[in-house]
Structure 1
Amino acid sequence: MPLVFQLDPPGGPALRDGVLALWADVSNAGGAVGFVPPVTTEEIRPEWRKHLRAMAERRTRLLVGYDEDGAVAATAFLTYNTHRLMAHWVWLYTVMVHPKHQGKGHGRELMAAAADAARTFDGVEAIRLTCRGGTGADRFYGSCGYKEVGRVPGAIRVADGDDRDDVIMLLPLSR
């Protein structure tokens, strides 16, 4: 069953708890979303608060995918580029699909929904994201139309002796 996506869903405890639980579950399953397992929702909460501030200031927008039970099953954050010479593209951050929903095409649905959302933003012509090398995420994003436009070798230190490339990818948006 497809997910139901909502851009800028109403805030509150249910959204907070759903996103925090998703973020912890994805991280603990090995997802490259800013944390290294094991991680708890309490360790993620300060990062969620940063995202909330950015959303309150309208610098960041939240896209949520809900499953058939109404639970948060996927998310992506779209952040406006504030530099006046780069306002024609947005960043896509913290792209997550719950492990129990992976392998069902929901990741592609999420990426398509993010592109559709970005197309509605005034003046936005492209989406840019970065991903951790060595995870296969770059191949997935490539299959969704993103092109690798840069790579910083060893920029992400997952653990002592485990440095990963920071892969920069871009999706031009056609209108």
Structure 2
Amino acid sequence: MTLTFEVDPSIDPELRDGVLALWADVSNAGGAVGFVPPVTPEAIRPELLKHFAAMADGRTRLLVGRDADGTVAATAFLAYNSHRLMTHWLWLYTVMVHPSHQGKGYGRDLMAAAADAARTSEGIEAIRLTCRGGTGADSFYAACGYKEYGRVPDAIRVAPGDDRDDITMLLPL
């Protein structure tokens, strides 16, 4: 079984709720996607609405992966740069695969689909992302072809006494 990917899907309540559920499940399983467990979909909703507003303005694209049942199982947001000297690359945010689907190669499939989506954006030459140190995400992204270009020590405070590096990685297209 594989995931079916769609770029720029229509936003409806089913998709919204699916992304919220995915984001909460990934966060509560320890995923480094902007929240610390425990978190509820309602706590995540304001952040998702910011992403949707950026999509409506044409500043961000959504990539969704659905499983065989049509359930949202993976996502990534591709955000364009607004700085006139940096419009040749975009940011990849909120990269998630549902915990029940991890270990099946879907993360690599998601990253390949994100690169394909970026290539369809005129003038985009690279994808940049950041990840939280101490999670193994940097090793995963490196295996997908990304290279580390910067690291800010202890920039992310997960909890008192638990500071992590903020790692910047780049994939030339």
Is 1:147 paired with 2:159? no
Match of 1:98 in 2: 98
1:121, distance to aligned residue in structure 2 (A): 0.4
Give the letter for the 1:41 counterpart. Answer: P
Match of 1:60 in 2: 60
* In 2, Cα distance between equivalents of 1:22 and 1:56: 21
* In 1, Cα distance between equivalents of 2:146 and 2:7: 21
Match of 2:4 in 1: 4
Give the letter for the 2:70 counterpart. Answer: G
1:75, distance to aligned residue in structure 2 (A): 0.0
Corresponding residue SS for 1:171: strand
Corresponding residue SS for 1:51: helix
* In 2, Cα distance between equivalents of 1:51 and 1:116: 20
Number of equivalent positions: 173
Match of 2:71 in 1: 71
Match of 2:125 in 1: 125
**TM-score for the superposition, normalised by structure 1:** 0.98
* 1:99-158 CA distance string (max 9 Å, x none): 000000000000000000000100000000000000000000000000000000000000
Moved over 3 A (4+): none
Match of 1:48 in 2: 48
Give the letter for the 1:25 counterpart. Answer: D
| Structure 1 spans left out of the alignment, 5+ residues | none
Give the letter for the 1:108 counterpart. Answer: R
* In 1, Cα distance between equivalents of 2:164 and 2:111: 23
Match of 1:89 in 2: 89
* In 2, Cα distance between equivalents of 1:11 and 1:48: 12
Give the letter for the 2:154 counterpart. Answer: G
* In 2, Cα distance between equivalents of 1:116 and 1:62: 13
* In 1, Cα distance between equivalents of 2:59 and 2:142: 26
Corresponding residue SS for 2:117: helix
Is 1:156 paired with 2:156? yes
Give the letter for the 2:146 counterpart. Answer: Y
Corresponding residue SS for 1:91: strand
* In 1, Cα distance between equivalents of 2:35 and 2:11: 23
Is 1:135 paired with 2:127? no
Corresponding residue SS for 2:96: strand
* In 2, Cα distance between equivalents of 1:164 and 1:11: 34
Match of 2:21 in 1: 21
**TM-score for the superposition, normalised by structure 2:** 1.00
Identity of aligned residues (%): 79
Match of 2:112 in 1: 112
1:30, distance to aligned residue in structure 2 (A): 0.1
